């Protein structure tokens, strides 16, 4: 892809996405960790253990090409996206919980993401084709995950009215630009993907549906409240596609590896909307049904 895209636009979009998260985050949100400890632990366990395991089993079952398997694992290891709180708000979830979990998950990704990606590279692309995700190359990208969050928090603290006005427009604009980049990544690889676009598209869509479903029902089984479970469903189902695409293209120099995240980024608003609607309607029917 164009060098200006990989060196300037992608990192800029990632920084804006995380800056938008910071504008919605306050110190009180971080202090609220103690009140939502169980929900946060469940969300992090899902993100760090359940999702990579589900993704690994799925790509083996579908028999995807090795490069796309790594792309799917990169997507699974990416933390929740800042736009998760938008979907949570739409379906009356606990938005404060979304913001808190996204911030914690993004910080933990500094350690967990390189670990999952390097294990995936070693497994699927072993031998002469192996490539590594070195920490020194990853550090600038991870700085774009962490630094803008704290910058946004600082602006919110000093100018809360401005932060309130800019919060949603910044995140919506970033998501819109990210989707354009995702489409560009798919178009740039259209010749290579002609033979298996259906398979990777199916994998991305199924994985998104699994994430959203597990993200809601696993917390409910653990007796987490309905609003908190909706928040976790969106948190686990809406990934930071900007981070996955940036790492694949800018650090691993592989546009093909970015395709799963690109397709996921395009599909997740539709699928999150559909699953969120079904969850809300199902919960409403349960509340209306007479108890024995």
In sign, the C-alpha dihedral spanning 246, 247, 253, 255 is negative
Residue 10 pLDDT exceeds 70: no
Q: What is the mean pLDDT of residues 147-176?
A: 79
**pLDDT score, position 195:** 64
Query: For residue 141, what pLDDT is reported?
Result: 65
* Whole-structure pTM value: 0.81
- The CATH number given to whatever domain includes residue 252 is 1.20.1530.20
181 vs 4, residue with greater confidence: 181
CA distances from 177 to 125, 127, 182 (A): 31, 37, 9
Domain total in the chain: 1
Q: Helices 197-221 and 66-77 meet at what angle, rounded to 10?
A: 30
**DSSP secondary structure string for all residues of 39-84:** HHHHHHHIIIIIHHHHHHHHHHHHT--HHHHHHHHHHHHS-B-TTH
The confidence score (pLDDT) of residue 182 equals 72
pLDDT digits (tens, 9 = 90+) for 223-253: 999 999 999 999 999 988 888 888 888 778 8
Q: What angle do CA 45, 46, 52 make, to 5 degrees?
A: 105
Mean model confidence pLDDT for the chain: 81
Is the pLDDT confidence value at 187 over 80?
no
CB 237 within 8 A of CB 275: yes
pLDDT, tens digit (0-9, with 9 covering 90-100), for 268-291: 888 999 999 999 888 887 776 655
Residue numbers of the domain that contains 60: 3-288
The band of 265, judged by pLDDT with boundaries at 50, 70 and 90, is confident
Give the residue carrying structure tokens 């469903």: 233
Beta carbons within 10 angstroms of residue 124's beta carbon? 22
Task: Inform me whether the pLDDT recorded for 130 exceeds 50.
Answer: no
Name 107's Cβ contacts closer than 8 Å, sequence gap at least 6. 146
Give the model confidence (pLDDT) of 191-212 as tens digits. Answer: 666 666 778 888 999 999 999 9
Task: Please give the Cα distance from 229 to 31 (Å, whole number).
Answer: 20
Hey, what are 44's tokens? 């992090």
**CA–CA gap between residue 269 and residue 24 (Å, rounded):** 20
Radius of gyration of the chain (CA): 18
Query: What span, in angstroms and rounded, lies between the C-alpha atoms of 145 and 107?
Result: 8
């Amino acid at each position: 892809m164009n060098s200006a895209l990989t060196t300037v636009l992608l990192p800029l979009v990632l920084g804006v996405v995380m800056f938008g998260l910071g504008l919605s985050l306050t110190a009180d949100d971080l202090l609220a960790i103690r009140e939502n400890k169980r929900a946060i632990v469940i969300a992090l366990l899902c993100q760090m253990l359940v999702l990579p395991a589900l993704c690994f089993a799925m790509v083996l079952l579908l028999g995807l090409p090795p490069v796309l398997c790594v792309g799917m694992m990169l997507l699974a290891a990416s933390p929740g996206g800042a736009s998760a709180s938008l979907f949570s708000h739409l379906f009356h979830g606990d938005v404060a919980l979304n913001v808190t979990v996204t911030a914690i998950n993004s910080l933990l990704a500094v350690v967990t993401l390189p670990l999952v990606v390097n294990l995936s590279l070693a497994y699927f692309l072993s031998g002469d084709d192996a490539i590594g995700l070195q920490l020194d190359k990853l550090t600038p990208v991870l700085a774009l995950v962490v630094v803008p969050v704290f910058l946004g928090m600082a602006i919110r603290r000093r100018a809360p009215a401005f932060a309130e006005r800019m919060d949603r427009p910044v995140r919506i604009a970033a998501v819109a630009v990210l989707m354009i980049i995702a489409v560009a990544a798919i178009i740039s690889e259209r010749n290579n993907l002609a033979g298996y676009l259906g398979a990777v598209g199916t994998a991305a869509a199924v994985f998104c549906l699994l994430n959203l479903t597990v993200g809601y029902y696993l917390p409910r089984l653990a007796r987490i409240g309905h609003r908190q479970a909706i928040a976790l469903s969106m948190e686990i189902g809406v990934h930071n596609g900007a981070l996955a695409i940036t790492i694949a293209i800018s650090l691993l120099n592989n546009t093909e590896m970015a395709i799963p995240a690109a397709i996921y980024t395009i599909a997740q608003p539709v699928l999150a909307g559909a699953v969120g609607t079904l969850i809300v309607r199902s919960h409403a029917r349960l509340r209306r049904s007479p108890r024995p």
